[in-house]
A and B are shown apart, each in its own frame.
Chain A
Amino acid sequence: MKKPSLISALLVGVLMLAGCGAQDAKPADNTAATEEVATENTVDLTKEMEAYKAFALEQMDAFLTDTEKFVTLFKEGKIEEAKHLYPRVRMYFERSEPIAESFGDLDPKIDGRLADIEEEGLGKEDWTGYHKLEYALWVDNTTKGYEAIADQLVADTKELHALVQTVEVTPDLMITGAVDLLNEVSTSKITGEEEIYSHTDLYDFKANVEGAEKIFEILREKIEAKDAALVKTLDEKFAALDALLAKYEQGEDGYVSYEALTDEDTKALAVAVNQLGEPLSQMGVIME
C-alpha cells in the first residue's frame, strides 16, 4: 500500500504507471476530477454526502476514543490488553480510510508501515504510529522506550479528528473511495503485508469491506434507479464475501491470524474481493 502522502513514492508511481496510477495519485487526481463533476453532473447527492460524512465522523470519534484507551494501556505496560485492542481500534480507521487518506501528512504518521517509510528514503527513527507500536508489542515484546511514539499517536489522531470535521465529501470521494477500499484489500491485506508483526490483517480486511459496503448502502437508492441489476449483483457479492470472512471469525469479535490462512484460503478471499470490486467499480453509473 503506497500512502498518498509519501511524495517521492507518489511521483514515482505516477511516472511509472502513467495513466494507471489514479489510485496511488489520489490527492492530485481527485481535485481535478471533482471539479469536473461539479460542473457536468446534475445528480443531486447532497443527502448521500451528508450521510457519508456523518458515518466518517462517527468512525473518527470512536477511533480517537479507543486510540486514547489503547495508548493508556500501552503506556501502563499492559501488553496483552493492548494487543487485544490494537486490531479493533484500527478497524475504525480502516473503515473510513477514504476520508483519513485525504489528509496527506497524517495518514503515514498514523498508519505508516516501516516499508513505506523506507521507500521514502527515511529510516526507522522517522517511523511513528500504529505499526511502530505493533512492532513494540509483537516483536520487541515491550512498551519501554516507545512512550513518546505512543503520545505522538494520540496527538496525530487528535489532529486527524479535528481535520475530518472540515472535510468536504464529494460524490467522487465516495465512488472511488469504495473501490479504493477494496483495492487496499487486494493489494496489501490479502498478502499479509499490512500487519506483518501482529498478523491481524483480517480485521483490516473486514473493516475495509465494511467501509465499502457502507458507501454502497448510502448510494443504494440512486443505483437502484439507474441499474437495478447492479444492486442485486452487489448484494450477492457482498454477502458472498462476508460469508467467506465469517469462516475465519475467532471468539466474539476477532479473526484468526493471517498466518493461519492457507494459499487456498487467501486465493478464495482474493477471488471474492475481485468479484465484488469489478461490479463495485460500476457505481459511477449514477453520475451519468
Chain B
Amino acid sequence: MTEWHEKKISRRSMLKMTGIGAAGAIIGASGFGGVMKAMGSDLTAPKAVKNSIAFYGKHQAGITTPSQTNVYFASLDVVVTTKKEMRELMQLWTPMIEKLMAGEEVATSTNVHIPPNDTGEAEGLDAKNCTITIGVGPSLFDKVGLTAEKPREFTDLPHFPKDQLDPAYTGGDLCIQACADDPQVAFHAVRNLVRVATGKVEVKWAQAGFNAFPPGGGTPRNLFAFKDGTENPVPDKEDHVVWVQPGESKAWLTGGTYLAVRRIQMHLETWDRTSLQEQENTFGRHRDTGAPMGMKDEFDNTDEAELPATSHVHLARQTKARMLRRSFSYASGTMTQTGAHDAGLLFISFQKHPQQFIDVQNSFGRLDKLNEYITHRGSALFACFPGVQKGSYLGETLFK
C-alpha cells in the first residue's frame, strides 16, 4: 500500500494508479471511478513532503481518503463556554493540522527554558498520510451558546439491543480522528492538538486502532478474521450517502458529514471456540475468500437463499440505508473483571444523516447472530465540518 504513496506525482494521476490497491481497502473494491472523482478535483497538488494528504479541500480529509493503517481517535469535552472561544480554538488548530498533515513540526522555539513546542516524537518521520478530521458532538451546542445551530436530526444515538455502553467510552463535545500509516504519527497529532488546547478542552476518552492490508491490496480482515468492508458504498464528490447536500441540514454542515463511532468489544475467546461452519453462518460469508455463502469470490453477487436468516450480512441487507464504513481493530489489554481480551472493532462510519446508521443498526436488532460474540461498549456521534479553504479555518461556517 505504501508504494504508490511514495511516488511524487500529481494527485490526479496518482489516484488513477491506485486502482486495485489501496482504494479497494476501504471502499469495497468496486467502482473506483467514484473514488477518483471524490478526491481528484478540488485538492491542491501534493507538497514535496513524502506521503502527505492535502489539507485544504471541499471536504475534510480522513473520510473518503483511502484508509491508513492506524487511527488514534479522541473524544473531548470542552471547558470553554462561548462561540468566540470555539472560534479561537479552531483558529489555533487549523494551521497546526495543516502542518501535522504535512509532516512538519507544529512550532519551533530556540528558548531552552521552556518545553519544546512540538512534543517531537514524529521528528524524522514523513507525513505517513496523516489525516486529521474534526467533528462536534450534540452536547457542544448548549455549552457554547449555539443551541439554535444544532440540526434537528443531531441527537445522541438511541439505545440499541444488546448495547452495554460504558460512560467512559461514550459521547463527547468534540472529536479528533487522527489517521496515519504509523501509530506514533497518529498519536503525535492528537497529543499536540490536545496539549495546545489545555484549559480549553479535556480528553473524555480515546482509542487507538489498526488495520492490516494484504500486500497486493484488498479488503482488510477484522479480529474475527473475516473481511470487513466488502460492501462499502463508493463515495464520489457529489455523493449522497456521505456528504450533506445544500438544504438537507443546517447550512453550516453542507459539505460535512456525520461520524458514528462505536467501540465494539469482540469476545475473541468464545469466537475461537466456535466451529468454522458456525462462524461462516454468523457472518453469511466464507472466511477464506470473503465470498457470500455458496459463492466463490468476494465480490460475487449474493444469493439471498444461501444466507442464514440471522446472519450479519443478510440482516444488513434488510435496509436500503447505506453508509461509508472506515473501521479499525483495537486491542487494549484485558477486561479487568474477566481477564478476557479487551479487543474488538473501533467501528467508524460516515453518513449524511444519523438515521442511516440507526437504520442499519436496527436491522441487526436482536436477531443478529453476531450479537452472541460482540458487545457495544462505547458510542458517540459527531458532525464533521465541511473542508477548509485557504485563509479560512475549520468550522468557520459554525463559529464565525
- Is chain B a partner of chain A in the same complex? yes
Chain A interfacial positions (CB closer than 8 Å to B): 33, 36-37, 171-172, 175, 233, 237, 271, 274-275, 278-279, 281-288
Whether the Cβ atoms of A285 and B111 lie closer than 8 Å is yes
Question: Do A279 and B114 touch across chains, with their CB atoms under 8 A apart?
Answer: no
* Total residues of chain B contacting the partner, CB 8 A: 11
Interface pair A285/B199, CB less than 8 Å apart: no
Report yes or no: A33 in contact with B199, Cβ–Cβ below 8 A: no
Are A281 and B199 in touch, CB under 8 angstroms?
no
Contact A287 B115 (CB under 8 A): no
In angstroms, Cα B79 to Cα A286, docked, is 28
Q: How far is the CA of A233 from the CA of B198 in the complex (A)?
A: 11
> Taking CB as reference atom, which chain A residue is nearest B197?
A278
A274 to B79, CA, bound (A): 13
Among candidates A171, A271, A281, residue contacting B114 with C-beta atoms closer than 8 Å? A281
Smallest CB-CB A-B distances: 6 pairs: A284-B113, A278-B198, A284-B114, A287-B113, A275-B199, A288-B111
Q: Is B195 an interface residue (CB 8 A)?
A: yes
Q: Are A271 and B111 in contact (CB under 8 A)?
A: no
Q: Tell me if A278 and B195 are in contact (CB < 8 A).
A: yes
Residue contacts A-B, CB under 8 angstroms, 16 given: A36-B112, A172-B113, A237-B199, A271-B202, A275-B199, A278-B195, A278-B198, A281-B114, A281-B115, A283-B114, A284-B112, A285-B111, A285-B114, A287-B111, A288-B111, A288-B113
Cα-based distance from A37 to B114 in the complex (angstroms): 13
Measured CA separation A31–B195 after assembly (Å): 29
**Complex CA–CA separation, A279 to B198 (angstroms):** 8
**A22: nearest chain-B partner, CB-CB:** B115
A contact residues around B79 at 8 Å (CB): 275
Q: Identify the closest chain A residue to B200 (Cβ).
A: A275
Q: Chain A's nearest CB lies how many Å from the CB of B150? A: 26
In chain B between 104 and 141, which residues have their CB closer than 8 angstroms to a CB of chain A? 110-115
Contact residues in B for A282 (Cβ distance below 8 Å) = 114-115
* Per-residue interface assignment for chain B, residues 224 to 243, with 1 indicating a CB less than 8 Å from any chain A CB and 0 otherwise: 00000000000000000000
**A267 — nearest CB in chain B belongs to which residue?**
B202
Q: For the complex, what is the distance from the CA of A33 to the CA of B198, rounded to whole Å? A: 27
- Which chain B residues lie closer than 8 Å to A175 at the CB level? 113
Decide if A284 touches B199 in the complex (CB within 8 Å).
no
Residues of A within 8 A of B111 (CB): 284-285, 287-288
CB nearest to A286 among chain B residues: B113
A92 to B199, CA, bound (A): 29
B202 cross-chain contacts in A, Cβ below 8 A: 271
Q: Complex: how many Å from CA A237 to CA B199?
A: 8
Contacts of B110 in A (CB 8 A): 288
- Binary contact track B169-211/A, C-beta < 8 Å → 1, others 0: 0000000000000000000000000010011001000000000
Q: Are B112 and A279 in contact (CB under 8 A)?
A: no
Q: Chain B's nearest CB lies how many Å from the CB of A193?
A: 20
B198 contacts which of A172, A274, A286, A288 (Cβ < 8 Å)?
Answer: A274
Interchain CA distance A284-B198 in the complex, whole Å: 18
Starting from the known contacts A278-B195, A278-B198, A285-B114, 10 additional A-B residue pairs (CB-CB under 8 Å) come to: A36-B112, A37-B113, A171-B113, A233-B199, A274-B198, A279-B198, A281-B114, A284-B113, A286-B113, A287-B111
Q: How far is the CA of A285 from the CA of B110 in the complex (A)?
A: 11
Q: Please, which residues of chain A bring their CB within 8 A of the CB of B114?
A: 281-285
**How far apart are A51's CB and chain B's nearest CB, in angstroms?**
19
- The A-contacting residues of B in range 68-84, CB under 8 angstroms, are 79
Q: Which B residues lie within 8 Å of A286 (CB)? A: 113
> What separation, in Å, do the CA atoms of A240 and B198 have in the docked complex?
14
